[in-house]
Amino acid sequence: MKGRAMRNMMKLWAVVLLFGTVLFGAELHWEEDTATAFAKAKAENKNVMLMVEASRCRWCEKMKEETLSNEEVQKRLQNYILVKVLRSDKEEMKVLPESYYPAPSTFFMTPDGEIIERAIGFFEAEDFITYINDVEAN
């Protein structure tokens, strides 16, 4: 009986996980580094959303917890290749024209690295979506 109960429990968890992803949206996928992100963007003909963040940055955390966890924002960002860059990582920051940006800073870029739109600082989900709209209008 123990084995059967365990199998039933496993099936239940599989269903919960499957429907949980469908109901609550898929979590955003972030590439490991800018080289991978831009290579994937070229291969898939998608734009890149690059987020500059800093360690112990409360506004970066707020951006992730409130804005980037918003269902509509997540849905809209499925059309982009996403990558986070630590402001202190000088090598990764070379993809941007200047060496310093406040955190958080978000850049929408072409697969070739051209900046389409930049959003400096924290934005509520509704305001962030206006930046996405501007990118998609160009």
Domain-located, residue 8: no
Domain-located, residue 35: yes
Domain-located, residue 12: no
State whether residue 50 is helix, strand or coil: strand
Domain-located, residue 16: no
Domain-located, residue 89: yes
Higher pLDDT, 49 or 21: 49
Q: Which of 87, 102, 92 is nearest to 54 (CA)?
A: 87
22 pLDDT band, cuts 50/70/90, is very low
Domain-located, residue 13: no
Tokens representing 19?
């429907």
- Residue 118: give the domain boundaries: 27-137
Which residues make beta-bridge pairs with 120?
105
Distance, in Å, from the CA atom of 22 to the CA atom of 113, rounded to the nearest integer, reads 33
Provide the 8-state DSSP code for 78: T
What's 100's domain CATH number? 3.40.30.10
Domain-located, residue 78: yes
90-128 pLDDT per residue, tens: 999 999 988 778 999 999 999 999 999 999 999 999 999
If one counts the domains in the chain, the total is 1
* Global confidence as pTM: 0.78
- 53: enclosing H helix or E strand: strand 47-53
* Cβ atoms within 10 Å, residue 51: 19
Domain-located, residue 33: yes
